[in-house]
Amino acid sequence: MTEMVYGSAPVHAGEPVLPKWWRTVDKWTLSCILMLFGVGILLGLAASPPLAERNGHAAFYYVKKQAFFGGMAIISMFIVSMMDPKTVRRFAVLGFVAAFVALAMLPFFGTDFGKGATRWYSLGFGSIQPSEFLKPGFVVASAWMMAAAQDLNGPPGRLWSFALTVAIVLMLSMQPDFGQSALILFGWGVMYFVAGAPMLILVAIAGLVVLGGTFAYSNSEHFARRIDGFLNPEIDPTTQIGYATNAIQSGGFFGVGVGEGQVKWSLPDAHTDFIIAVAAEEYGLVLVLVIIGLYATIVVRSLTRLMRERDTFIRLAGTGLACMFGVQAMINMGVAVRLLPAKGMTLPFVSYGGSSLIATGIAVGMLLAFTRTRPQGEIGDILKGRGRL
C-alpha cells in the first residue's frame, strides 16, 4: 500500500554501502567537484612557486600541501556523502557546536598572522579557521530548527535560528570578517525564504542589514577602507585589485601562455583569494568560463534534485549548502574583477587553504548526501495529486 501511495522504489535489503552510494549519488555533481580540485592543483602549480621562493621553501611546497589537504577534503567528502540524512544532521550539529565554541574563544586564543583580523588558531605546524567549519554545521542546524517549526506544536525554530545567526554575525564582525558574515546571513535568508517566510519580514531583515552596514562603515576603519577603495573610480595599480585587474585584462581570450603570467610575482594572495586572476592571465577567458560552468552545474544540479525532495529538513539544508557554495565562488570571482569589495574569501576547491579545502569537502559531502536518490515519491506528485489510490 505504501509503495502504491508514494511511488517508492524497491529497497535492496543488505545492499553494500559502496554500490548503493554509487547508484544513488549525483555523478554529474561529483564529477564537477573532482574537476574543480584538478583545476586547483593546476593553478597551484602556476601561482604558488613565487610565494614558496619568497618564503625560502621548495618550488612546489604549497602545491604539495594543497594536494595533501585536498586529498583529506576529498576523503571527507566521500565519507560524509555515504551517510544517511539523519546521521549527517547529528554529525553536523555536533561539529557546529564545536566550531561555535572555537569561534567564541578566538578573541582570547586566536591570532591574526599580521593581517589585522583575528580569524585563526595557530597550531605550530599550521593553522585552523573555525568560521570555515562553522558554515556547513550552521546551515544544517538552522534547517533542522526551521523544519521543526513546521511540525504541529513545534518549537519556534525560525526565531531560534535567527537569534543564532545574529550571534554568529556579531562574533564574525568583531574579528572583523564581514565577508563570512554576509555569507552566513545569505545562507540563512535563502533557507528562510524556501521555508515560506513572508516577504515583509525579508524586507525588514534586508533593511536591518543596510543599517548594520552603515554602522560598520562609520565605526570600522577596516570596513570603510575596503568600501572606499571599491567605490573609488581610480584603481591603484600597486594594490591587489590593481594587479588582478591588469592580469585579467592581459589574459584575453586564450591567455598569455602556461607559466608566462606575471601577476603571481606581485600578488601575495595569488594562490588563495586571487587565484582566478592567475587563471585568467595564463589560460584566458576559456578556463574562467569552464570554472564558472563547473560551479553553475553543481548548484543547478543540486537545486534541481532538491526540488523533488519531500523532506522539509533535507530540502532546506541542501538548498542552503548549494547556494552558499555557489555564492562564495561568485564573491571570490566578483572581487577579482572589481564587481564587489574585497572580502578575503577563497574560491571553493580551487584556492589554497587547509581549513577552506577540508570544510568545503565536508559541506559538499553533506550536499551529495542530501541529493542522493531515495525511495520516495516526488513532491510534485503531492502538488499535482498524483500517486493516490
Q: Does residue 325 register a pLDDT over 90?
A: yes
- Show contacts of 338-344: CB within 8 Å, 24+ apart: 338/230, 338/235, 338/241, 338/245, 340/230, 341/226, 341/227, 341/229, 341/230, 342/226, 342/229, 342/230, 342/240, 342/241, 342/273, 343/178, 343/179, 343/182, 343/273, 344/117, 344/177, 344/179, 344/273
pTM of the model: 0.87
Predicted local distance difference test score (pLDDT) of residue 360? 95
Instruction: Quote the cell numbers at residue 301.
Output: 544540479
Spell 286-314 as b/e; 16+ CB within 10 A means b.
ebbeebeebbebbbebbbebbeebebbbb
Contact between residue 388 and residue 5 where contact means Cβ atoms under 8 Å apart: yes
Interatomic CA distance for residues 378 and 106, integer angstroms: 44
Domain residue spans in the chain? Answer: 15-384
Measure the N-to-C terminal CA separation of the chain; round to a whole number of Å.
Answer: 9
* DSSP 3-state of 260: coil
Least confident stretch, 40-54, 212-226, 266-280, 310-324? 212-226
User: How confident is the model over 330-357, as pLDDT tens digits?
Assistant: 998 988 888 887 777 889 999 888 889 9
Q: Which pLDDT tens digit goes with each residue over 146-178?
A: 999 888 787 888 889 999 999 999 999 888 888
Q: How far apart are CA 348 and CA 328, in angstroms?
A: 7
Q: How far, in Å, CA of 313 to CA of 85, rounded?
A: 9
Q: How does residue 384 score in pLDDT terms, banded at 50, 70 and 90?
A: low
> Under DSSP, is residue 258 helix (H, G, I), strand (E, B) or coil?
coil
Instruction: With a cut of 70, say whether residue 387 has pLDDT above it.
Output: no
- 127 CB neighbour count, 10 Å cutoff: 16
Mean pLDDT within 194-218: 79
Kindly tell me if the per-residue pLDDT of 269 is higher than 80.
no
- pLDDT digits 0-9 by tens, 64-111: 999 999 999 999 999 999 999 999 999 999 999 999 999 999 988 888
The per-residue pLDDT for range 99-120, each reduced to its tens digit, is 999 999 998 888 877 676 788 8
In which band, very low, low, confident or very high, does the pLDDT at 306 lie, cut at 50, 70 and 90? very high
Cα-trace Rg, the chain: 22
Mean pLDDT of 302-309: 92
What is the residue-averaged pLDDT of the chain?
84
When pLDDT is cut at 50, 70 and 90, the band that residue 286 belongs to is very high
